[in-house]
């Protein structure tokens, strides 16, 4: 495991956070879940409104477990700050899909974005704007990027590879911080379904889809214009 500090006290890349064999096991499980759900609900839309075409799932058990695996490491890195895991989300990206520019809701005070599987023939960066600077983060299988999801605008451009990629992002709040009430997204336990989340969390998710602060509500070009100074400087990592 190797820790790269991108912004002191704010952003890191942890190389080999998750063992590669564990990533392969989890990727296999995620593909199996996708296939079963597609068979069970053949007419269902398996994406989400902000990431069309990318098969997405809220809090699958295998990814919730990955979040618990990396949590003590993240706590140590950010300054021995105890965290509550709030939720996780998984996406299977295929050619033509992307991740729109957005910020996360309050449950994403801290995020650990894990590359579960990669396309070795198509390196694909996650873009993050933090502290008035744009970073292009390249993650390999098992790497995790730790950043401030609720504060830092982040996205992925269109994936043009011929294979696929699985990305898992796990969100946390500080146990003694202003968002501590959002532990488990208000659910009774990790891996519980979305329907058990608190009313505050559900309301915040609705707002995320329509509030300019979070990103998706802005029209084409508006985010780029708003962050024109930020986009002038790019660092590849």
- Please give the domain boundaries of the chain with CATH numbers for all domains: 2-236 (2.60.120.620)
Q: Shortest CA distance to 177 belongs to which of 76, 108, 102?
A: 108
Contacts of residue 136, Cβ cutoff 8 Å, sequence gap at least 6: 125, 126, 127, 234, 235, 236, 237
Pairing assessment for the beta strands 126-130 and 153-156 based on DSSP bridges = antiparallel
Distance between the two ends of the chain, CA-based, in angstroms?
A: 17
SS percent in the chain: helix, strand, coil, step 5: 30, 30, 40
Q: What b/e readout covers 22-48, taking b as 16+ CB neighbours within 10 angstroms? A: ebeebbeebeebbeeeeeeeeeeeeee
Flag residues of the chain having pLDDT under 70. 49-50, 209, 212, 215-237
How confident is the model at residue 225, as a pLDDT?
Answer: 41
3-state secondary structure of 23: helix
């Amino acid at each position: 495991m190797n820790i790269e500090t991108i912004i002191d006290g704010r952003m890191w890349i942890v190389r080999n956070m998750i063992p590669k064999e564990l990533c392969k096991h989890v990727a296999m499980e995620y593909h199996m879940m996708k296939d079963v759900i597609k068979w069970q609900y053949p007419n269902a839309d398996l994406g989400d409104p902000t990431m069309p075409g990318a098969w997405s799932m809220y809090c699958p058990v295998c990814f919730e477990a990955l979040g618990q695996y990396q949590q003590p490491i993240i706590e140590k890195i950010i300054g021995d700050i105890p965290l509550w895991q709030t939720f996780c989300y998984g996406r299977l990206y295929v050619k033509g899909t992307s991740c729109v520019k957005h910020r996360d809701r309050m449950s994403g005070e801290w995020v650990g974005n894990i590359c579960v599987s990669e396309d070795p023939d198509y390196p694909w960066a996650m873009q993050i704007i933090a502290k008035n600077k744009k970073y292009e983060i390249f993650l390999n299988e098992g790497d995790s990027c730790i950043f401030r999801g609720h504060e830092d605008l982040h996205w992925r451009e269109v994936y043009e590879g011929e294979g696929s990629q699985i990305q898992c992002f796990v969100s946390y709040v500080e146990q003694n911080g202003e968002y501590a009430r959002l532990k488990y997204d208000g659910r009774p336990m990790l891996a519980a379904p979305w329907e058990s989340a608190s009313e505050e969390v559900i309301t915040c998710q609705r707002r995320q889809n329509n509030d300019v602060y979070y990103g998706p509500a802005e029209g084409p070009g508006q985010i780029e214009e708003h962050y024109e100074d930020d986009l002038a400087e790019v660092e590849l990592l």
